[in-house]
Structure 1
Amino acid sequence: MRASWLPLTAVLALVARAEMIDDVLSSLSRGADFLEGQHEHINLDGVVGYLMLQAELKAAVQTWPHSDPVSWGQRSSAVGLIRRLDQSLERAVSALRQSEPNYYREFEPLLTWRFWSVPGSWITTDSSLVYSSTLSSECYDEQLSDKCLTLLLGTWKQNGTPCIVTKPCRDMMTRFGCPFYSLSHQLLYFMIGGMKGCTNLLKGDTRASRVNMTERSYQTIFCSNMMKTNQDILRDGLSALNADIFMENILVCGLAGFSDFYKVDWLQHIFRLQDVEVGCFGRDRNVVSERIGEELLEQLQPHHRVKRREKVLHDGCSSHMTGVAVGALGGFLNYYLQEQDITKRPLS
C-alpha cells in the first residue's frame, strides 16, 4: 500500500476516507436499485437529481486516485454504478417524455448529465452575508420561476432564443431576504444560466446598490444564507418536514462549489434518512394504503396536472427528496475524492 510511508495520522485519515466512500457507494447503489424499479414513475425533479449524480460520478471516475487496491476497487464499483444509471435514466427520461410532455419540452436541456458541470475548485460561504431578517414565507412564484428558466434555456417557444432575462425574472432572482426553496431557486437560476453559457445575466440592472454585483456574488450570498438555514434546521431538529430543504441546500450549493456544505456529520444525517428497505428517501409508509383511493380519483380526472415539484410514489417514497439526496451524495463523493486524498494523481 502506497500509504505505508505516511505518518500514522495520515494513514488513519486515508482509512477513514476509504470507509466513508464505501458508505457513499453503498447508499448510492441502493438508490440505483430504487431508480431501476421506479423509473417509469419518478417525476422531473427526481430525474434531474439522478442526472446530477451521474455527472458527478462520471467526473469522479476520471480523477479517481491511484492509491491502493481498495481505492481502485471502489472506482470499479462507481463504474458499475454509472452503467446501471445510464440504462435506468434513459428509460426514466423516455417515460417523462410520455407522462409529462409539456414539462419535458420546457426542461429537455436539463435532462442529460452532460448539462451539469461539476466543480473543479472550491470556495466557502461567508457568515457576514447572512440576512439580518428573512421573510416568513416563500417569495417566489413557481410558474414565473419555470418561465424564467425556459427563457434562459430557449425552450419558451420552439427554436426560442436562449439567455433571455426579463425584468420580472431578474427582480425575483436577485431579491434579498427570501427563505428556503426561494433561495435554492434563485441559486439554480444563476447556475443554470452559467451552464447554458449565458453571459451577463445582470445586464440591465441599474440599481446603484448592485453596481458591483456579479453572478458569483449572488451565489455566495444565497449559499451563505442556505448554510444558515441548514444550521438552524439542525439546531431545531432535523425532521421529515425539513429534511428535503436541508439536502437540497447541500446538493445545489455543493454543485456550485461551496465546500463547507460537505460536512461529515451532514453526510451521516443523509445516510440515516434513507429507507433501508427500498433505498429511497422521504418514505411515508402510511401513504401506501392511501394511494389506492388516489388512483381511483386520477382515473376519474384524466387531465389532472401532475405537480412537478413533488410526487409521492406508490411505496410512499418522495420522488423529489430521493433525487435530491442521491445528487447530494454524489457531491460528497466528488469532493472527498478531490480534496481528501493526499496521494491523488489524475488518471491519464
Structure 2
Amino acid sequence: MATKTLILGIVFISVNFNLILCKKEIYEGTSFPKKYFLAETLVPTSEDLESYLLSTKKIVNAISLYPNLTDPNRALGVFYMKSILRRTILENGKKLNDSHIAQIKEIIKEGERILGYYFHYLLGKPWTKPFRRVIELFRDDTVQVESISNFTRNRLAKWLVNPKTVNSFAKQFDEITLSKEKYASLVQSVHKDAYVVSIDTSDNCMSMIVYNRIYFDKYERLCTADKSCADILYKSPSVAYSLSHRLLNLIMPRQIRRCYMRSKAADDKLIEALCASMYRETVYLARRGYFYRDLFLEHIALCGLVGFREFFRHHWFRKIISWVDSDGCIQENMNFEHLRTKLSLEKAKTEKKKDKIKQGFREMFHENCSYHQMALSLMVLAHGVRYAAEFIP
C-alpha cells in the first residue's frame, strides 16, 4: 500500500511539474517592443499628404504605361486604391483644398482606366477560372467605399499578449531572433501548403464571394460560400502570406458584399487576431531592416482597410516612399530574393527545374519594377492620403 501511495505521489508530482513547465513555455508577449504596443500619436502634416499623393501618382502612372500587362494583383491594388481615395473625398472633401481634390480625382480616373482595360481583356476568359470570378468583384466599388472601417486606436494590444497566438513564432518575432533564412523558409512553405491557407486555396475561396448578391444596406448576412472555405479560414497555424490571405478572405465578403463567413461577432474577433499577428510580423520586418518589402506592404495594405491605427506609423510611410524611384517603380530587396531562390534550388529535384528557377531570378534581378509591390504600395499610400486628410484642420 505504501509503495502504491509512493508511486501515485511521484506521478502526481511529475504531472504537476510538467504543468509548471508547460505554463512557463506559454509566451505572453512580454518581449514585444513597448513603443509599438499603442497607436502612434504623431499627426501627419499637409506635407505628408502631398508626398503620399506624389508617390501614388508616380506608381499609378508607371502601371498605366502597360495596361495590357495588368494582372489580378495589379487590378486588386488599383481597385482598393481608388476605393480608399473615394472614401477620402467622401469623409474629408470639405477640408481638402482644390489642388488635393484635383490630384485625387486624377489618380482615381487613371485607376478606372486601367481597370476598364482589364475588364475588356477578360471578356473572353472562361468563368471557370477563379481569377476571372474574383476580378468580377471589382466592377463596382460603391459598397466597398462605404464599408472601409473608421480609424480605431489600440485594439490590437490585447491580442499581442494573448498566449493563443496563430503561430508558434511570436516570441522569436518579438525578440528578433528569427533568422532571415528561417523567415524565407516560412514564406516559401505557404506556397507548399505547409500552412493552412495556400495561395491557390485563397484564390478559390475569394472566387466564391461573387455568388453573393450586392447589398447596399448595412445589414450583414451569412455569405453564400463553400463551407470548407469558412472552416479553413478559422484554422491555425498561419504565418506570412497565409495570414494576409486569411484576412483578405474575411474582409472582401464583408466590405464588397456585406456578408460574414460564420457570424459578424466571430469574424470581427478573428479579424482582430489576424491583424495582431500581422502587426507583430510587420514590426519584426521593420526592426530587421525591412528585408522583405512585399509582406511588409501587404500587411499594412490589408489591415489598413479595417482601420487599425497601429499600422499608420509615420516612419513606415516615409520608408515606403523612399523605395519609389523617379519612374514610379519599386524593387524587392534583392538579398531576400536571392535567399528565396537559394531555398528553391535546394528543394528542386531536377536540373530542368533548377534552370527554370535560375532564369526566373536573373529576369527579376534585371527588372526595376516589382508590380506586386507597386500594387500594394498604391493601397498603402492611399491609406496614407486618407489618414493625413483626417487630421487636416
TM-score range, shorter chain: 0.7 to 0.9
Which of 42, 59, 64 is matched with 1:31 structurally? 59
Match of 2:358 in 1: none
Contact residue 297 and residue 377 of structure 2 kept, 8 A:
yes
Q: Deviations over 1:210-251 (max 9, x none)?
A: xx9511101000001111000011111212xx1011011111
- Larger Cα-atom Rg: 2
Match of 2:99 in 1: 73
Report the CA distance shift for 1:67/1:325 in structure 2 as closer, same or farther (over 3 A).
closer
Gaps of 5+ in 2: 1-41, 170-185, 213-221, 338-362
CA RMSD of aligned residues (A): 3.1
Contact residue 93 and residue 111 of structure 1 kept, 8 A:
no
Report the CA distance shift for 1:231/1:87 in structure 2 as closer, same or farther (over 3 A).
same
Instruction: Return the letter of the residue paired with 1:122.
Output: F
Which of 139, 158, 161 is matched with 1:112 structurally? 139
Which of 232, 235, 254 is matched with 2:287 structurally? 235
- Aligned partners of 2:94 and 2:157: how far apart in 1? 37
Q: CA deviation at 1:328?
A: 1.0
- Aligned partners of 2:90 and 2:236: how far apart in 1? 38
> Is it true that 1:95 corresponds to 2:145 in the alignment?
no
Q: TM-score, normalised by structure 2?
A: 0.64
Which of 248, 251, 260 is matched with 1:188 structurally? 248
- Aligned partners of 1:313 and 1:53: how far apart in 2? 27
Report the CA distance shift for 1:231/1:280 in structure 2 as closer, same or farther (over 3 A).
same
Match of 1:174 in 2: 234
Contact residue 75 and residue 135 of structure 2 kept, 8 A:
no
Contact residue 223 and residue 260 of structure 2 kept, 8 A:
no
> Is it true that 1:62 corresponds to 2:101 in the alignment?
no
Match of 2:75 in 1: 47
Contact residue 74 and residue 371 of structure 2 kept, 8 A:
yes
Instruction: Return the letter of the residue paired with 1:112.
Output: R
Instruction: Return the letter of the residue paired with 2:328.
Output: G
Match of 2:211 in 1: 154
Match of 1:126 in 2: 156
Please give the residue correspondences for 1:1-348 in structure 2 after superposition, counting only pairs within 5 Å.
17-67=45-95, 71-97=97-123, 102-112=129-139, 114=141, 116-117=144-145, 119-123=148-152, 124-130=154-160, 131=165, 133-134=167-168, 136=186, 137-138=189-190, 139=195, 140-154=197-211, 163-197=223-257, 199-202=259-262, 214-239=266-291, 242-276=292-326, 278-282=327-331, 315-338=367-390, 340-341=391-392, 343=393
- Aligned partners of 2:364 and 2:223: how far apart in 1? 33
Report the CA distance shift for 1:116/1:144 in structure 2 as closer, same or farther (over 3 A).
same
Q: Deviations over 1:15-39 (max 9, x none)?
A: x611001101110110121122021
Report the CA distance shift for 1:56/1:133 in structure 2 as closer, same or farther (over 3 A).
closer
- Aligned partners of 1:98 and 1:273: how far apart in 2? 37
Contact residue 43 and residue 320 of structure 1 kept, 8 A:
no
Identical-residue share of aligned pairs (%): 18
- Aligned partners of 1:327 and 1:218: how far apart in 2? 22
Q: CA deviation at 1:171?
A: 2.5
Aligned residues: 285
Gaps of 5+ in 1: 1-12, 156-161, 204-211, 288-310, 344-348
Q: CA deviation at 1:198?
A: 5.2
Q: CA deviation at 1:60?
A: 1.7
